[in-house]
């Protein structure tokens, strides 16, 4: 590795921000470029970085607020800390993957006239992307919609998926590991750490329907694991309940249908694995997920449902509609590509080579 060339990668606190950052870092390292991460203090983030042996520093987090009296001072302190981080080593470029937590670091990078690259995960760009894109060297987008961002700087790259999440494992091997039957269709359900509750209720209220129709249900239920596991046992449901599942590629390898939220990472992974899905966007957090899912729905490549109490009680009706369109969804999904295949790292490393 050429240690004279080093890129700083700054990420937000969620998996939706961190995993694309990690994927970009991995592909840059494969190209012989040094990488250091600057991240908020989150156990799952530092765990992944330590596992891979990456250098990293924890960045100060300042929540942007107009009401807090001390906010300007906290922000100034955070920017000064980030300036110190950046001055310790000669970073050739800075890569940011969104979230308000990256603002001080990106602003410090701008002050030091670093070459800034951004990756926007969602269909509708977040505030950080909108603010810094005019100053960026390049802005990479997951979805093919440029959203009035500076056209000459925007590249439609797709979402960088971790290699681990793309590795196919024998269906029989995973079914055996999870004690599942080979002759049943598998429904994988997950909603994310903060938005699983609605999907949990939806599934629990319709377990009899899934049982009668010979489906196996594998659900990632978050904090409600024990409660849902107990219901599965009482109703003698064939399936599995997890609070979290690290090796999502294992579940994708056996999935016939996915029922999930509509984060950009989830949609990109479903797209990569070509799995027909029912998407129920998380209705909060700025409504980003709805626009992500709507893009796929307009292409007839998913079955989109808005979160309403009514769908819990009428879900068999909607599921039958989905099954009627199952093959069409599968066909249309093949026409879409929302995942990055190393193009981001290729472009960044190419720009660095030009500068040498």
Domains and CATH numbers, the chain: 2-158+339-355 (3.40.50.2000), 169-333 (3.40.50.2000)
| pLDDT at 193 (0 to 100) | 58
Say what the pTM is.
Answer: 0.94
130: how many CB neighbours lie within 10 A of its CB?
Answer: 15
Cα R_g (the chain), whole angstroms: 21
Mean pLDDT, the chain cut into blocks of 10 residues (356 residues total): 80 95 98 97 96 97 80 92 96 96 98 98 96 98 92 96 97 98 97 80 97 97 94 97 94 98 97 98 89 98 97 98 98 97 94 68
The SS3 call for residue 326 is helix
Structure-block tokens of residue 116: 């800034």
Cβ neighbours of residue 324 closer than 8 Å, sequence gap 6 or more:
none
Where are the extended beta strands (E) located within 77-180? 93-96, 115-120, 138-141, 154-156, 159-160
pLDDT of residue 64: 75
Residue 186 has φ and ψ, to the nearest 5°, of -110, 130
């Amino acid at each position: 590795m050429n240690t004279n060339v080093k890129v700083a990668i700054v990420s937000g606190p969620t998996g939706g921000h961190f995993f694309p950052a990690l994927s970009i870092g991995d592909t840059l390292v494969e190209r012989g470029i040094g990488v250091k991460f600057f991240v908020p203090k989150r156990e799952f983030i530092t765990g992944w970085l330590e596992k891979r042996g990456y250098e990293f520093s924890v960045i100060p987090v300042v929540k942007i607020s107009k009401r807090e009296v001390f906010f300007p001072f906290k922000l100034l302190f955070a920017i000064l800390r980030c300036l110190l981080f950046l001055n310790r080593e000669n970073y050739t470029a800075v890569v940011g993957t969104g979230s308000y937590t990256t603002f001080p670091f990106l602003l410090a990078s701008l002050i030091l006239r670093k070459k800034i690259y951004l990756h926007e995960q969602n269909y509708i760009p977040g505030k950080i992307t909108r603010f810094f894109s005019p100053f960026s060297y390049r802005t990479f987008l997951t979805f093919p919609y440029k959203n009035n961002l500076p056209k000459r700087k925007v590249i439609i790259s797709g979402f960088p998926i971790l290699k681990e999440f793309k590795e196919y494992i024998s269906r029989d091997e995973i079914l055996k590991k999870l004690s599942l039957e080979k002759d049943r269709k598998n429904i994988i359900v997950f909603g994310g750490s903060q938005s699983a509750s609605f999907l949990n209720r939806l599934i629990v209220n319709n377990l009899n329907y899934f049982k009668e129709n010979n489906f196996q249900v594998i659900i990632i239920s978050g904090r409600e694991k024990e409660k849902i596991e107990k219901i599965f046992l009482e109703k003698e449901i064939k399936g599995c309940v997890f609070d979290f599942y690290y090796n999502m590629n294992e579940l994708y390898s056996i999935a016939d249908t996915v029922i999930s939220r509509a984060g950009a990472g989830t949609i990109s992974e479903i797209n990569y694995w070509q799995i027909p899905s029912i998407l129920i966007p998380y209705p909060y957090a700025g409504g980003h997920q709805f626009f992500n899912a709507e893009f796929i729905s307009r292409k007839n490549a998913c079955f989109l449902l808005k979160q309403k109490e009514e769908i819990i009680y009428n879900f068999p009706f909607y599921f039958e509609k989905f099954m009627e369109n199952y093959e069409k969804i599968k066909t249309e999904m093949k026409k879409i590509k929302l995942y990055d295949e190393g193009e981001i790292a290729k472009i960044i490393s190419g720009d660095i080579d030009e500068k040498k």
